[in-house]
Every structure is written in structure tokens, then in C-alpha cells.
Structure 1
């Protein structure tokens, strides 16, 4: 996020000393400043920024895309068992050659519809899993005991060897698994690689077992919450509003971009009492190994450390392509107990390189109030090869948020097996809760921010953050209220226990609708993206094979919902209205 303080400093330098304010793009001439690789000054010319995601070429013949990941990013001593997620999808873009024939022991030709596999600990030869899956299966879980494993800080190398029943078609894929010593001080945080949720172990649960967390919280001005003369007032207000995470932004004006250590220590003592989790900013240290190690040593044993946050918009600034992955490797050695996150600003600029340096990828498309085709600060047009309008390749709609999430999901799904960072990765949204500066001449309303929240949830976001606290009083209150709903039951169980079925069919009104089907209940998220009231009735079809009998609970929004002929029905919607409700499912 280009904060007002940092942006103002850059602008002053440019106007009065003619010092350049951007970063050099990889395809641009040495004296051309860029954002997302695109020149943005009126004296520049457009150019192809490069760095576009390279989707694998489609193949005529089918491929078998074999995958393996541990269910969780870490296990700790005390966990009785672990799981692998194994898949074998038919694809025309990823995987190895696949011929749909095999033979039995008598030589009889049969379809190749079962993949046999063995999972091997490559370090000691132990075989935790021998099993099979049906071809074109994804996300199948296989448990194994951890009783014979020795906990240690380094990961264990794992390899899956798969084959057709006759052994003539073979497939090999690698991964790794962390089995760490148990902690009695400080938090441990794991990511569910199946559904993207976070689970925590800290003093709040006596360092025993794991509890679920759906992160909802702001980036916060360090001067607001960690003043030199420390007091707890602001942080207590923040916590009481319903937020369970916070990301303190260090002073952007100081020479070393640092925190007041004494004040931050007192702050952290207090948030440990509140069980308010910190996403710790390393944005001004992550490219310096010495500073990185110093910061990690200071805070890695805190009870409410949730994750390390390394690069802030590295794609926009055109940081070195290996900068995030180098920092990631260092952090995994220094502290394997916490995931690493970063935020990407660009719509399509070196995703593979930058995202490889994180376990959690955030997006921060800020669409409210922008002119998507003409740069307000620089008086230039904006397009795919030129200009900076504050929201890269956006259209200036709230739907830019959900579109950006879908784009990042698409990139991650098509990473070739040899690329770094392959596998399921949770994606979070950083939402616009600021304005009245540079590209954004007005503040979003609280209705707009809440609308972007639900769009993010509907499109698979596993965490929400906002730039910047404090926002308006109304936005603070409304985002906290919905955040409290999302981070508690029953919504929490749906959001972390399964994936949304997106884009449900709607008759009568243009709505964005997703559903989470879990057991005997269905969670439905509904977003009206239109600013004016809509009088027409809407009929929402359920996912294929799902039958519902009634509305069980309205978690957010109006109560006027009914079930008619198996469809979710409501007449009339307020401008930007959102709803989140639980339906009763008819089960066989």
C-alpha cells in the first residue's frame, strides 16, 4: 500500500529536487520510472511491461496431473497423525502422458482408472502411505501416524511414486512435510492446504490442540496504536469493535523505517492478553538478512504472532524477482512455526516469481473513486502498457476485488509442477477503507467496504484486511460487525471447512452468489453490486444435487428470504445490499 505519508514524500522529492519516485521496470529503459512495469510519467512512452503469466500450452492428448501436499503446512509434536492430500486429475495442460489402458495379471486390457501410489520419506526410506485413488480424483486425504517420526526444525523430503496397475505408466512428484518440536512459549500457526484456513496453538488453548481463526483486521498506523508514550486505549477500542488481527505499519518517515521497540513490546504484552493476533510487517527489512534476523529474534516467541509479512506490493515497485523467495527461505529457517504473507498490487506482472515467496497471497485492488482510464496524479491515460491509476488494469467497480481474486486463483492453479510455490495457497483481500488522496479522491462508504468484504468471501478469500485504521467511525463499526460474524460459528465452520460453489444461477436480478455446502446445512452469500434499490424478485438456484427446505438463520442482512420450489427467493434489494444466511438442507 502506498500510504499517504510515503506518497507525499515521493511527490515532494520529485517536484523540488527532481529525484525519481518510482522503480525501474525490467523491460523499461534505465531512466524510465514504472509501476507494475508500466511507465506512468507524461514524459514517457508506453511499452509492454512483460512479466505476464505464462499459461501452459494445451495438449491434444490427455495428461494425468498427479499432486501431493501435506494437509497442513506444519505438524507439531503432540499431533498423533498427519495427512497427505493426493490428486490425479485428467488435464490437457499439466501432468504426464496418460493412456487410458492398462492390463491385469492375465494380460487382459482394461481401462486405466486407478492410480496406485507409494509415498516415501526420502531421508530414511520409511513409507507412510501405500494406497490408490481413482483417476480424475482430486483432494483425497490419506492419514498416517507420526509416532515413529522425530520432531525437528527442518522439513522431511517426501516423494510420491505412482503408476498404472500394470506399472507401465509412471508418475513421480515431490513435496515436504514439517514435524516440529512442541512449543510451550509462543504461537504456532498452520495453514490447511485443502481449504486454506488458519489454525492456531498458543497459550489461549494451553498449547494443546488447534483452534480455527478467520483473520479480520486492519493495517494500523503505528503512531496511532504504538505511540511513544504507550497507553492501551486505542488498541482496546480496536479489539472491542470485533477485529481479531492487526498489522502495525512502521513509521514510514524514519531513516530506518522501524518500530519504537519499547512501546511495541508493551503493546504486544497487552494484545497477548486480548488474544489479538499480529501480522508482523517486515516490509522495510525483508531484503536485508541481518535486519530480518534481528526482527525475527525479537518477536518469534510471542503468543499472538500470526504471520510474517514481507513484501508490500513488490510487483508494483519492481523489487528484484528473487527478493521475496530469498526472504521466504530465510524466514523458514529462522522460524518454521509461522506462515509468510505478502500483498501483490499488479493484475499480471511476474506473479510466479513474487508469489513464490509467500504461503499466503493477498491482493489489494482499490477501486473506489478512481478514474480507471486516466491518472489523476500524472495526467496520463491508463491501459495495459502505460499509466498508473491506483488500481492496476481495473474498471473502477467494486467487482474489481472479486475479479482480482479469481485471477490470482487462476494463476496458482496453472503453475507448472517445476515452479516454486506450487500447490494450494490461501488468498486474502486487502480492502480499501481510505480515500481523499492521490488516485482516490473520496472515501468509500461503509456500504461499499462491506460489499467488497462479501465479494471477497464469495470468491474464496480466507482472510480480510483493510487499509488503513482508523477509517471512518461508521466503516470501523460495520467492518468489525461483519468480521465478528465471519470469524465465529456458524460461518467459521463453513468458510474453513469447505470451498464455495461460486456463481450460482440467479433469475430476475444481477447478484453475486456463492454457497458452502457442509453436512445438513448450506451457507449462502449474496451481494448486490448495484448502487440503487432493485424492486424485482430474485430466485437463486442451489448447487447441483443440493436440495434445501428452509432458512435456518440470517447471519447478516434482511430477513425477507424464503424457499420456494427449492430456490432461495427474496423480493427487492437495497443498493449494495449483502446477505449471509444458513439454509436447512434436505439430506437423503
Structure 2
């Protein structure tokens, strides 16, 4: 039986990004059930002139199984490793569930499940996919998660093609049955110049390599920043960038203009700002929200920026689920970026509570979510004069109650969706609201600001 490769369970990588936000707009339905010409947000009509309909695209929890299931999951702890490192590790989970996984041992009596699991071990063998190279043989306690298994990197070939790794598990409850799971491990040569960054599947964090001449020294980073208006505030203003750094932010995330051929107006000013980033010790989160569907433009920007010493990660789609972008657009952009630059993760932000989560999330290594509940009526849009519910309306906080806890609930929901899909768990970053008095927000709604 084959289980899908998956990341560590129940781990959150948190970052803080204050945000500017759209004001009551919507994309014409392209992946939804919307009638032709009806403007939508999260697949739902939001104007009083349009009727409600089922937007589709919702994930549903898997049905309960009558028999126990083994949810065998494996993923590299780090998203990339370098050939200068001698050891990697895999995160292995082998939980007994009744929702996801493969049918567990038919001869096992689930009526005594708890007592019979005590002291039971699963035997693991980890090899390359062709089974010619054994990387580890070990045991883990049955019905456990987040087991870290070290494996050697010596002898593995570095390159941009990921190594396929096979995990084989046997249980004393059915010794004649073998369970399998496959994952991939990316082993790269050290970057020729510039930085590198990688995500951590065990703790959900982010680590950076700042010195390519010492390619075994990784440092953790906790991202703290906000979306900054490039054209309206930072362009041609070194003093504003210095003031930004003086407030303790560690990531610079400028928002580009809508022209994909000139996202920063002219490159000289932007290049000067990137030079200043290095002097200030800030990291760059490079935004391609308006050009990410143009793969030629994406590749050109990546080639221009990827060797910067303070590049941290790429940012592609901004609320593609809200706009109703093509379902494969984020993944296509991520694939283009990884081809040009495998050393930095890709991120995007989702706005909807439950609208085609799987396809959109597939385009990111780090997933952001931006529900904005403060000063907001989450059940009725005063901007559009319509109610907001599962099939209608845009109140700026899809599926929300209208309280700050909506942010934490959304992150919990996303983690639950990943479990339903048996998908690789991604670091999740919250985008708290730091503005008010705009669009859907009735009040000031400000709990933090920088000026």
C-alpha cells in the first residue's frame, strides 16, 4: 500500500505582516460556478444586483472509516540541503486514524487498540527509490507523529533534480504486510553567491544562509514586517527605508506597480534600495503579484534578483482565491521560480475561508492568510449592501465571526485542510490587520501601525 508523502503535523510557522488591502473589488468568475459576467470574490457574487449561488470549490472532511487506517507520512525536515552538509533528517509520522490513510492490519483487533499499541514499535527502512542505497533502518513507537530520523548525505549526488526516497514500514500486528511512503529530498551545491533560505517541517520555521563561503551555517529568522507601498512611499526615499528599519522590522516587502514590464517604475531606484537593504541588514520579500501569471516576466525578475545577498523569499499570488485566478497559475509560477532559483522558498497569500484551497496552496512553500476582522461587520457588507454567508457577499473577512480570533481560526482551518488532503504541511504566516476606515471596515480597526 502506498501512502502519500507529507510534512510534520500540527506545526505552525508564524510571521507577522501588517497589510494594505483591496477595497471591495472582485474578479470575474473563471474557476467558479458564477454566471457569465457576474463579478465574484471567493467564488461568490457580492453585488446586490446579482443573486447568490453555490460557489463550489469547498473542501470537505473525509468520511469516517469503519476500520483503522495507518496515516504514514514522511518529508525532509528542511526544504533544501547543501552538499556541504553531511547529514539530513526525515520527519516520519505513523498515526492510527479513522479518517485518512491506508487500511491497517486486518488481523489487528481495534477493540483493544489503546492497550495493544503500548510498547509496540514499527520497523522502518529508508532507501533511495531504486532500493539500492539504504539510508537508515530504525524503529519508531507505533501511533506516533513527528519522529525525526537522521540520514547521511554522503554519497548522494547534488543537483537540481530532487532525490526520491522510499520509506518502508512493517508492523508486528501484520508482519506480512508492508506499508510504503515516498518523499523527495533536494540536495543542492552551495550557492555561487547570494543567500539561501529553507523551511523547517518539524518546527515550521525559516532558516537563512547569509554567507555562501560558509555554507553550513544556517540561522533562524522570525519574519516581522508589512506590505510597503513602493511607488507611494519608498521609491526614491532612502530616508523612509532607514526609518522603516529603525522601527525593528526585519523584512522589506515592497508592493509593485501593475505594469509587469516595469514593476518598480524604473530599476535604478529599486536597485539602490536593494543596496541599502544590505547596509541596513533587512531581508527582501520580492513581490510579483501583478506579473506572476506572466512566466516570462517571472523568470526575468528572478534572474535579476536571485543573487542578492539579502533575498529571503519570493511572493507570487496575492489572494488568487479571491480573484478567481486560474487554479494552476500559482503552481506554474512556483515551478518557473524553482527552475531559475531553487535556493529560496515561494510564498503567496490566500484570502478565502474555503475556496479551492488545494490547487492554490500547491503554488507555495510558505502560505499566508489575511482575514481582516477588526472594525468589520462580518455578516453584512455596508459597502455593497448585501449579506455575507457561505454563498453570497464580500465582507472583507470571508467566513469570519468578526473578532481578532478569526485570524487564529483561519490558520487552524488551513492546517485542518492539509490533514484532510494528506498534503505537505507548510509554514503558515498570519497577516494581521493594521489599517481601518477603508472599504469593508466600518471603524478605525487599527491595532498597530507604522508611519
Query: Is this a same-fold pair by TM over 0.5?
Result: yes
For 1:258, the equivalent position in structure 2 comes to: 263
Q: Which residue of 1 aligns with 2:430?
A: 429
Q: Give the secondary-structure state (helix, strand or coil) at the position aligned to 1:393.
A: coil
TM superposition shift of 1:84: 0.8
Q: Does 1:367 align with 2:373?
A: yes
Pairwise CA distance, 1:437: 1.8
What is the number of equivalent residue pairs in this alignment? 424
Given the superposition, is the C-alpha separation of residues 33 and 157 from structure 1 closer, same or farther in structure 2, using an over 3 Å criterion? same
- Distance in 2 (CA, whole Å) between partners of 1:56 and 1:273 is 51
| Shift in CA distance, 146/91, structure 1 to aligned 2, threshold 3 Å | same
**2:221 paired residue among 203, 213, 222:** 213
| Matching residue of 2:239 | 233
**Which whole-Å CA distance do the structure 2 matches of 1:434 and 1:197 have between them?**
27
Indicate which of 169, 181, 184 corresponds to 2:189.
181
Structure 2 Cα separation of the partners of residues 29 and 375 of structure 1 = 21
Match of 1:338 in 2: 344
Taking a change above 3 Å as real, the CA distance of residues 316 and 2 of structure 1, as seen in their structure-2 partners, is farther
> Displacement of 1:206 after TM fit?
5.0
1:395 to 397, 401, 407: 401
1:138 equivalent to 2:154? Answer: no
Bigger CA radius of gyration: 1
Aligned counterpart, 1:161: 168
How many angstroms apart in 2 are the aligned matches of 1:238 and 1:311?
24
- SS of alignment partner, residue 203 of structure 1: coil
Q: Secondary structure at the match of 2:273?
A: helix
Alignment counterpart, residue 35 of structure 1, candidates 19, 31, 41? 41
Q: CA deviation at 1:225?
A: 5.0
Mapped to 2, the partners of 1:207 and 1:225 lie a distance apart of 36
Tell me by how many angstroms 1:21 deviates.
6.0
Residue matched to 1:351? 357
Correspondence for 2:439: 438
Matched, 1:45 2:51: yes
Contact 1:185 1:301 in 2 (8 A): yes
- Aligned pairs for 1:526-537 (under 5 A) are none
Asked if the contact 2:377/2:442 (under 8 Å) is kept, the reply is no
User: Secondary structure of 2:61's partner?
Assistant: coil
Q: Contact 1:24–1:31 at 8 Å: present in 2 too? A: no
Are the aligned partners of 2:191 and 2:212 in contact in 1 as well (CA < 8 Å)?
Answer: no
Q: Which residue matches 2:298? A: 292
Question: Does structure 1 retain, via aligned residues, the 8 Å contact 2:79–2:198?
Answer: yes
Structure 1 CA distance for aligned equivalents of residues 43 and 98 of structure 2? 31
Report if the CA contact (8 A) 2:434-2:445 is conserved: yes
In structure 2, the residue matched to 1:586 is none
Q: Given the two structures, how large is their TM-score scaled by the length of structure 1?
A: 0.68
Alignment deviations for residues 379-412 of structure 1 (CA, whole Å, 9 cap, x no partner): 1111111111111111211111111111111111
Output the TM-score relative to the length of structure 2. 0.88
C-alpha separation in 2, matches of 1:353 and 1:426: 17
Partner of residue 313, structure 1: 319
Q: Does the aligned pair in 2 maintain the 1:25–1:38 contact within 8 Å?
A: no
Match of 1:119 in 2: 126
Match of 2:77 among 71, 74, 92: 71
CA change 1:373–1:155 in 2 (3 A) is same
Provide the aligned C-alpha RMSD in A.
2.3
Instruction: Deviation per CA, 1:328-375: give whole Å up to 9, x if none.
Output: 222222211111111000011111111111111111001112221221
Cα distance in 1, alignment partners of residues 388 and 237 from structure 2 = 45
Q: 1:101 to 1:273 in 2, by over 3 A?
A: farther
Number of the residue aligned with 1:526? none
Gaps of 5+ in 2: 1-17, 109-115
Residues in 2 aligned to 1:413 and 1:225: alpha-carbon distance in whole angstroms: 41
Structure 1, unpaired ranges of 5+: 11-19, 103-109, 417-421, 450-470, 474-588
Counterpart-to-counterpart distance in 1, 2:178 and 2:188 = 32
- The SS at the match of 1:331 is helix
2:316 match: secondary structure: strand
Alignment of 1:560-571 (within 5 A): none
Q: Return the structure number with greater relative CO, CA threshold 8 A, min gap 6.
A: 2
Alpha-carbon distance in structure 2 between the residues aligned to 1:231 and 1:472:
16
Distance 1:207 1:224 in 2: 38
Mean Cα deviation higher: 218-227 or 335-344? 218-227
